[in-house]
Amino acid sequence: MAAASPAQPLRIDILDPRRDLLGECPLWDVRSQSLYWIDGRAQLVRRHTPATGASAQWQAPQHIGSIALCESGRLLLALEHDFWLLDPHSGSLMPMGAGVTHVAERMRLNDGRTDRAGRFVVGSMTLGRAEPQGALYQLASDGTVATLERGIAVANATSFSPDGRWLYFADSHTHQIHRYPYDPATGAAGPSEVLVDTRALGSVPDGAAVDAQGHLWVALVQAGQLARFTPEGRLERTIQLPVTYVTCPCFGGPELDVIYLTSISNSGNLLRSDHPDAGAVFAIHGAGVRGLEESRFADASHPI
């Protein structure tokens, strides 16, 4: 796919008048031409269709860490310790019958992304403390859960290279984004190496997305910036946002050339802002790049 023209000036709009407490995990659904995202703290899954202005939302029974599009048209929800399926057409919400057992109290699932073969990779985090008691998990279509990594405090930046052969992942507490060699056929992950350290940028890394050229876009949640890194880990550019606490990007729009970016107004922990646009979903136009269609969780074995 050809790159978008870089001649278009950069423009940052607000997608939707609603504001999130803890906006996270935006996903563009090419089938419906809609953006899904979550307000994790408010336990809401949200949807907005830019072409019509139509919006919808669904309530979950627990804090939501992340979501994924499914092959069936449903959404996979990573709640505090287990996985649920949401049918946006009927509004029905049902447990999938799969989950994880945290090793300590006050932990939950957090950031996740689907690999190119339809598995969901999601990490956990500790609450109110920076202790490496979390893990990185892989959910298969049959509901089995494998553990890819342990010793994590705050899981973020989960994403995959265009060919699916690299898994990117950050433990935000360390400021480091790692990459793992990844086998799309088997789901096996090799030993990690540090790709980026964000200390010099004044922020820990939060959510991330990969563009069609294989560059990694990372939300710098303490700096109000979105950073683009080359596949080798070199900082290529940053985009300054009007609010500080930006959390996670994705690519969307009919040409997959719009960057959608969620943000925080009140995380319930350390991050809180009275800025009138805090908690908004931003739409960045004119970045001159395109994204990839979002991979879907292979949920065919679970009845609708």
What amino acid positions are annotated as catalytic residues?
206
Residues 162/210, Cβ–Cβ less than 8 Å: yes
Distance, in Å, from the CA atom of 104 to the CA atom of 204, rounded to the nearest integer, reads 24
Q: Which residues pair with 209 in a beta bridge?
A: 217
The pair of structure tokens assigned to 287 is 């970045």
Whole-number CA gyration radius for the chain: 17
Distance, in Å, from the CA atom of 1 to the CA atom of 207, rounded to the nearest integer, reads 24
Strands 246-252 and 258-263: antiparallel
Residues 215/231, Cβ–Cβ less than 8 Å: yes
Q: Which helix (H) or strand (E) holds 145?
A: strand 145-152
Q: What is the DSSP letter of 294?
A: P
Q: Letter for the amino acid at 235?
A: L
